[in-house]
């Protein structure tokens, strides 16, 4: 499996990346860890005449945990997320989710920026970031903007990022309450059959707020506001759980593939969401 040939660049700063993207337009693509892009290039499903490796670009690394929120540089790897104790304390759902992505070798290369920019519905971090209401920083030739994770995904591999923009960072407001990332997969290293990211705040014995996002059950991640709303004000009794699962079922649109037929995926999605809500509640 040999990919088509390409010109390789390893710029040292963002200006260098932006200049290459400007010069080569559609023919250029950035590469982070390469663990989604290289397999596609080997299969010749992606052709990249000009490949811009981000590994030496200054300013794209680093994990900052502040009083208001968290900033993850785009090139932070999944392994670095897992290893960072301050991060695990501030937003434990990040480590819990990252540990369910792929395997140790892949997590050493795969980055948060690549995972959220890729646009593959199978990626776990887009739904996770929607649950956490994260924002992505996009830097273009003469602009910098923030796009909410909840507004970023348009269709499979189609996102709000323009071709000449680089995703430089992910910022996350400090999550409150209990969390859970539940994922059903066929084996370790597999993409989700269904996954749920849940963050719940409990106040005075009832649910004050709930944020729910689902992965690999549509051609984009599904942030399901109605499912969260169904829990608010309740004590997470059966009726509230049933209502949340029903709202989620109305929002997803799974299709049949090698992970199973539609009915099976809907069944798994229900089981996974129930588990995630119950676990998040028990930690709230």
Partner 1 sequence: MGKKMHIQMTVNGKAEEFLAEPRELLIYTLRERLNITGPHIGCETSHCGACTVTLNGKSVKACTVFVAQADGSEITTIEGLGTPDALHPLQVAFKEHHGLQCGYCTPGMITRATKLLEENPNPTEEEIRFGMAGNICRCTGYQNIVKSIKAAAAEMNAAKEAAE
Ligand X SMILES: Cc1cc2nc3c(=O)[nH]c(=O)nc-3n(C[C@H](O)[C@H](O)[C@H](O)COP(=O)(O)OP(=O)(O)OC[C@H]3O[C@@H](n4cnc5c(N)ncnc54)[C@H](O)[C@@H]3O)c2cc1C
The enclosing H or E element of 92 equals helix 92-98
Largest CA distance in the chain: 61
Nearer to ligand X, 168 or 199 (CB): 168
Nearer to partner 1, 51 or 268 (CB): 51
Could you give the 3-state DSSP secondary structure of residue 146?
A: strand
Could you give the angle at which helices 262-283 and 238-251 cross, rounded to 10 degrees?
140
Residues 77-116 that bind partner 1 (CB under 8 A): 79, 102-106, 108-109
The two three-digit tokens of residue 32, written as one number = 């982070």
User: What number of helices (H) and strands (E) belong to the chain?
Assistant: 12, 14
Tell the smallest beta-carbon distance from residue 108 to partner 1 (Å): 4
The two three-digit tokens of residue 227, written as one number = 């499912």
Q: Residue 3's binding partner, choosing from partner 1, ligand X, none, with beta-carbon cut-off 5 to 8 A by kind?
A: partner 1
- Tell me if 127 contacts ligand X by CB under 6 A: no
Nearer to partner 1, 107 or 266 (CB): 107
Taking alpha carbons only, the member of 94, 102, 105 closest to residue 197 is 94
Site string for ligand X, 139-168 (x = CB under 6 A): ---------------------------xx-
Residues 39-78 that bind ligand X (CB under 6 A): 39, 54, 74
Determine the length of the chain: 284
- CA–CA separation, 280 and 273 (whole Å): 10
Taking alpha carbons only, the member of 118, 126, 139, 147 closest to residue 221 is 126
Burial label, 274 (beta-carbon count in 10 A; 0-12, 13-18, 19+): middle
The two three-digit tokens of residue 146, written as one number = 């923030």
Candidates 4-12, 113-121, 131-139, 239-247: pick the segment binding partner 1 (CB under 8 A).
4-12
Nearer to partner 1, 3 or 178 (CB): 3
Nearer to ligand X, 118 or 184 (CB): 118
Interface with ligand X (CB under 6 A), residue from 35, 95, 179, 279: 35
Residues 18-77 that bind partner 1 (CB under 8 A): 31, 34-35, 38-39, 41-42, 51, 53, 55
Residues 160-219 that bind partner 1 (CB under 8 A): 188-189
Interface positions with partner 1 (CB under 8 A)? 1-8, 10, 31, 34-35, 38-39, 41-42, 51, 53, 55, 79, 102-106, 108-109, 188-189
């Amino acid at each position: 499996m040999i990919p088509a040939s390409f010109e390789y660049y390893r710029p040292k700063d963002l200006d260098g990346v932006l200049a290459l993207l400007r010069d080569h337009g559609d023919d250029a693509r950035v590469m982070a860890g390469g663990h989604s892009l290289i397999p596609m290039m080997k299969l010749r499903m992606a052709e990249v005449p000009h490949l811009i490796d981000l590994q030496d670009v200054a300013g794209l690394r680093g994990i900052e945990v502040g009083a208001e929120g968290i900033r993850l540089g785009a090139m932070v790897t999944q392994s670095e997320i897992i290893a960072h104790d301050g991060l695990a304390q501030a937003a434990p759902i990040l480590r819990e989710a990252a540990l369910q992505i792929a395997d140790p070798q892949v997590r050493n290369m795969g980055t948060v920026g690549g995972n959220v920019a890729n646009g593959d519905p199978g990626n776990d971090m887009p739904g996770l970031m929607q649950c956490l209401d994260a924002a992505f920083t996009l830097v273009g030739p003469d602009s910098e903007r923030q796009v909410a994770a909840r507004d970023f995904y348009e269709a499979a591999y189609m996102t709000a990022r323009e071709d000449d923009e680089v995703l430089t960072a992910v910022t996350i407001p400090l999550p409150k309450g209990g969390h859970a990332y539940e994922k059903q997969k066929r084996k370790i290293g597999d993409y989700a059959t269904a996954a749920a990211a849940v963050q719940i705040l409990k106040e005075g014995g009832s649910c004050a707020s709930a944020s729910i996002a689902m992965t690999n059950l549509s051609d984009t991640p599904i942030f399901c506001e109605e499912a969260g709303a169904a829990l608010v004000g309740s004590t997470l009794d059966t009726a509230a759980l049933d209502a949340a699962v029903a709202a989620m079922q109305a929002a997803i649109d799974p299709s049949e593939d090698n992970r199973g037929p539609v009915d099976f995926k809907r069944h798994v999605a229900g089981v996974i969401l129930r588990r995630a809500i119950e676990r998040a509640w028990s930690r709230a």
